[in-house]
Amino acid sequence: MRPGLRVAVVGATGMVGRVLLERLESRRFPVGELLPFSSGRAHAAVRFRGRRLAAPAPSPEALRSADLAFLVSSDEIALEWGKDLARRGVWVLDDSAAFRMDPSVPLVIPEVNASELGPERRLIAGPNCTISGLAVAAAAIHRRAGVRRVRMASYQAVSGAGREALLELFGQTRRAARSLADSEPLRPLGPEKARALPAPIAFNVFPQVGRFNAEGECSEEVKVRGELRKLWGAPRLALSATTVRVPVVRGHSVAAWLELARPLAPAAAARLAASVPGVKVWKEGTYPTPRAAGGGDPVHVARIRRGAAPSELALWVVTDNLLKGAALNSIQTADALLEKGWLRPRRAA
Q: Which pLDDT score, from 0 to 100, does residue 348 have?
A: 45
The CA distances from residue 96 to 29, 71, 72, in Å, are 22, 7, 7
Whether 346 maps to a domain, the answer reads no
Spatial distance between the Cα atoms of 273 and 137, rounded to a whole number of angstroms: 6
Whether 240 maps to a domain, the answer reads yes
For the question of residue 142 being annotated catalytic, the response is no
Is the confidence at residue 327, as pLDDT, over 70?
Answer: yes
| In a shared domain, residues 148 and 169 | yes
For the question of residue 43 being annotated catalytic, the response is no
CATH number at residue 258: 3.30.360.10
| In a shared domain, residues 122 and 11 | yes
Spatial distance between the Cα atoms of 270 and 71, rounded to a whole number of angstroms: 35
| Residue % of the chain over a pLDDT of 90 | 89
Whether 45 maps to a domain, the answer reads yes
Domain count, the chain: 2
Q: Are 152 and 272 in contact (CB under 8 A)?
A: no
Is the confidence at residue 20, as pLDDT, over 60?
Answer: yes
Q: Which pLDDT score, from 0 to 100, does residue 349 have?
A: 41
Q: Residue 158, SS3?
A: helix
Spatial distance between the Cα atoms of 125 and 100, rounded to a whole number of angstroms: 5
| In a shared domain, residues 178 and 282 | yes
CATH number at residue 83: 3.40.50.720
Is the confidence at residue 179, as pLDDT, over 80?
Answer: no
Q: Which domain does 161 fall in, by range?
A: 132-320
| In a shared domain, residues 140 and 121 | no
Whether 283 maps to a domain, the answer reads yes
pLDDT in tens, 270-304: 999 999 999 999 999 999 999 988 889 999 999 99
* Catalytic entry in 129, 142, 218, 300: 129
Whether 209 maps to a domain, the answer reads yes
Task: Mention every residue, 6+ apart, whose C-beta is less than 8 A from residue 268.
Answer: none
| In a shared domain, residues 108 and 221 | no
Element (H, E) at 238: strand 238-245
Task: Mention every residue, 6+ apart, whose C-beta is less than 8 A from residue 207.
Answer: 218, 242, 243, 244
On whether the pTM is more than 0.75, the answer is yes
pLDDT in tens, 124-162: 999 999 999 999 999 999 999 999 999 999 999 999 999
Whether 316 maps to a domain, the answer reads yes
Whether 278 maps to a domain, the answer reads yes
Q: Are 134 and 317 in contact (CB under 8 A)?
A: yes
Q: Residue 46, SS3?
A: strand
* Catalytic entry in 142, 218, 252, 300: 252
Spatial distance between the Cα atoms of 116 and 125, rounded to a whole number of angstroms: 11
pLDDT in tens, 188-224: 677 788 999 999 999 999 999 999 999 999 999 999 9
